[in-house]
Amino acid sequence: MSTYRFALITALLLLLNPFVGRAQDFVWTPELQRTYGDLQKLIVQPAQPILSTESTRNGVRIFVDDYTDMLLLVTSDDDRLFASISDREDERLEALKRLDDASPWQRVLMAEVRLHWAFVKLKFGKEVSASWDVIRAYKLLAENKKRFPAFLPTYKSLGTLHVMIGSVPDSYSWVANLLGLHGNIQQGQQELQRAQADATFGLEAQLIDLMIRAYVIKFTDADRKTLHRLVSAHPDNLLLHFFGATIEQKSGHGEQALAYLLSRPYGKSYLPLPVIENILGDIYLQKGEYTTATTHFQQFLATYKGRNFLKDSYYKLFLCHWLAGQPDAPSRPFLRKVITVGRTTVESDKAAQKFAEFYLAKGASANQKVLMRARLASDGGFTDSALAYLRPYTEARFSTVAEKAEYTYRMGRIFQRRNNPDAAIPWLTRALALSDPDQLSFGATAALQLGYIYQQKNDRTRARSFFQKAISFKRHEYKNSVDNKAKAGLSGL
């Protein structure tokens, strides 16, 4: 074959297959495929020796190296480890930038590295730097979509970002537009569905889609069945068991969350996840099993190296003693710990700090203990217990507006969780009315739940009104999550 003919055939092949480039720059070798699959299960031990045998010029190896570091950092929350390896982000981005820019993998893997570090930085309180990583990742993925629209790996993270952009409250949407970020929740979900057909990122895309349904939109019975099938199909996947438990706990199904954690895989090759002890403590606290809950919170504090969830854990230890009817004096040191340890990056730590400051300054009435028991039981889906706590009471039994608002809100949520929305509506409406003048958080969450109820009833006008009302509450510790869910509800209308 002449040199001319060979060059012509090569050029034609490149035109017909836009994914062909310098093939050696992005190679999913069998070892890298197996290692990445193990990392997605939180199996880390065999990864390092395998990675050491792979070419340092292979962009896939760079990505898998980075994924390993991300897992180590977000599961440990270790500040010293973060400080010692945070410069690897720039090193890896530079290495990827020098590889074949004609390959669709280059921009995808650069975006993945940026998103890894955005996630890490958020965990360590570096919100501004994390935001810039997200913006740059978005631009890389948007460019890749234009250049290679059929390349499925692009859509896993691009779909996620489009959901995030679409859930930004209207009052901040101009910022996203100014930065060139465009997208909506429906578009993002469609892209995540598309990504699930990808052999490499399909499982991750499916899990992200379920998490978005649980944390941003609304988790349905059909979603719950899908989650159960996914976890059951991967009995050796610790990550799926962990996220399955957090999703079910968030959705108020404590028993199912507990089942996922108790059936999780064990072994020295798995990454340690101290936060599982914190979640187990939460579930047993919701069940009213205070001694067992105390053991799990203490185990978490003994093994965890980070600064997140410390305030939350000491607050929960206080609750275990307080709700068990122990004397007030031995319980107070736990609340004093809340004030001095950790940081307030995550919402649960912010809520713990607020409670500790209020209780140490003013104490709490006996009624607040009843409300707390009902709240915990209801949040875990143990509605028989929650209703039993509150049935002897009426609104008139509570002395402050905040207590009255919480009582009516808890009653509404109990009936809502028991699939009796018509019984829930008057309670939630009353909670909203009581909360509105002082902008109490119960009003924002009551408005959100009323939006969901009327959305389910297909009363779009009332649903829209309540979602907008939820967003209108300006100052409360759950504003980010409530606003995101309300915006998603509006988008769904």
Q: What is the pLDDT of residues 287-339, one digit of tens each?
A: 999 999 999 999 999 999 888 899 999 999 999 999 998 777 778 899 999 99
Angle at 379 between CA 382 and CA 243, to 5 degrees: 105
The mean pLDDT of 24-52, rounded to a whole number, is 85
- Min mean pLDDT across 168-172, 222-226, 358-362 is at 168-172
Task: Categorize the per-residue pLDDT at 177 as very low, low, confident or very high, splitting at 50, 70 and 90.
Answer: low
> Averaged over 327-355, what is the pLDDT?
89
> Mean pLDDT over residues 372-386, rounded?
95
Top-confidence residue, 363 or 337: 337
Count how many Cα atoms sit within 13 Å of the Cα of residue 220 in the half-sphere of its side chain: 8
pLDDT on residue 170: 59
> What band does 7 get if pLDDT is binned at 50, 70 and 90?
very low
CA 327 – CA 321 distance, rounded (Å): 8
In the predicted model, is pLDDT for residue 217 greater than 90? no
Residue 180 burial class via C-beta count within 10 angstroms: exposed 0-12, middle 13-18, buried 19 and up: exposed
What is the per-residue pLDDT across 235-290, written as a single tens digit (0 to 9) for each?
A: 999 999 999 999 999 889 999 999 999 999 999 999 999 999 999 999 999 999 99
One-character DSSP codes across 181-196 = ----HHHHHHHHHHHT
Distances (CA, A) of 41 to 44, 68, 202: 9, 12, 14
Predicted pLDDT of residue 46:
64
More confident residue, 216 or 294: 294
The single-letter DSSP state of residue 354 is H
Q: CA-to-CA distance for 259 and 280, rounded, in angstroms?
A: 10
| 362 burial via Cβ count (<10 Å: 0-12, 13-18, 19+) | exposed
pTM: 0.84
Residue 15 is encoded by which pair of tokens?
Answer: 């035109």
Whether the CB-CB separation of 268 and 45 falls below 8 Å is answered with: yes
pLDDT at 406 over 90: yes
The answer for 126, left when phi > 0, alpha when psi is -120 to 50, beta otherwise, is: beta
Give residue 311's pLDDT: 96
Helix (H/G/I), strand (E/B), else coil: 270: strand
pLDDT at 19: 41
Gyration radius of the chain over CA positions: 25
Measure the CA–CA gap between 470 and 70, rounded to whole angstroms. 35
Name the average pLDDT for the chain.
89
Domain ranges in the chain are 3-262, 275-363, 365-493
Q: Is the pLDDT of residue 16 over 50?
A: no
| Of the candidates 165, 123, 110, 169, the residue with the CA atom closest to the CA atom of residue 483 | 169
Residue of 31, 25, 198 lying closest to 103 (CA atoms) = 25
pLDDT bracket for residue 178 (50, 70, 90): low
Burial, 381: exposed, middle or buried (Cβ in 10 Å; 0-12, 13-18, 19+)? buried
DSSP secondary structure of 154-179: HHHHHHHHHHHHHTS-GGGHHHHHHT
What's the confidence (pLDDT) of residue 184? 85
Nearest to 27 by CA among 67, 71, 57, 68: 57
The distance in angstroms from the start CA to the end CA of the chain is 62
DSSP character at residue 420:
-
* Cβ(350)–Cβ(344) below 8 Å: yes
pLDDT at 119: 93
Residue 55 DSSP SS3: coil
Q: What would the mean pLDDT of 182-200 be, rounded to a whole number? A: 92
pLDDT of res. 407 = 96
Q: Which helix (H) or strand (E) holds 110?
A: helix 104-123
Residue 414 has pLDDT above 60, yes or no: yes
Range in 68-82, 258-272, 319-333, 379-393 with the lowest mean pLDDT = 319-333
Angstrom distance (rounded) from CA 353 to CA 357: 6
Q: 193 is written with which tokens? A: 């569905």
Closest CA to 29 of 7, 53, 1: 53
The CATH fold assigned to 365-493 is 1.25.40
Which pLDDT does position 17 carry in this prediction? 40
pLDDT at 8 over 90: no
**pLDDT of 485:** 87
Q: Is the pLDDT of residue 50 over 70?
A: no
- What count of other Cβ atoms lies within 10 Å of the Cβ of residue 262? 10
What pLDDT does 4 receive? 40
- Domain 275-363 and domain 365-493 have a common topology: yes
**Domain 275-363 falls under CATH 2.40.128.20:** no
For 63-86, what is the mean pLDDT? 93
pLDDT of residue 15: 37
State how far the alpha carbon of 347 is from the alpha carbons of 311, 440, 447, in Å: 11, 16, 20
**pLDDT score recorded for residue 55:** 74
Confidence (pLDDT) at 18: 38
Average pLDDT (21-32) is 80
SS3 assignment, position 43: strand
- Average confidence (pLDDT) over 360-389: 92
